Amino acid sequence: MVQQNLREQLQQASRKIHDAQESARQAQGSDEEFLDQAEQQLQQAEQQLQQAQQVGREATENPQFQQAYEQLHDTRQQVQEAQQNNHDVL
């Protein structure tokens, strides 16, 4: 049961990260609404990963967890860069 719950949490986090990546891509240019949406999705994904971490070492050693965490970090950086670019244009 714990393994299934962990897998579901990691899948949900991965979906949120993917959604955030898509929102960030759509925001390229100047759409602040998409960037806000991406940021919210990243926060939700981060919460999912934090819940998965509470399972213990088994979660953090899971390759899917590690991949999701790296994607979260990379996507957050992309969103921040896009936000900065949008502010620079203004």
**Non-local CB neighbours of 27 within 8 Å, separated by 6+ positions:** 33, 34, 35, 38, 79, 82, 86
* CB-based contact 27:38 (threshold 8 Å): yes
Residue 29 forms part of a structural domain: no
What CA–CA distance (Å, rounded) separates 52 from 42? Answer: 15
Is the pLDDT at 90 greater than 60? The verdict is no
Is the pLDDT at 88 greater than 80? The verdict is no
pLDDT in tens, 1-45: 567 788 888 888 888 888 888 887 777 666 778 888 888 889 999
Residue 26 forms part of a structural domain: no
- DSSP classification of residue 56: -
Residue 63 forms part of a structural domain: yes
- pTM for this prediction: 0.77
pLDDT in tens, 43-85: 999 998 888 888 778 888 889 889 999 999 998 998 888 888 7
Residue 81 forms part of a structural domain: yes
- What range defines the domain where residue 12 resides? 2-21+44-89
Structural domain count, the chain: 1
Residue 56 forms part of a structural domain: yes
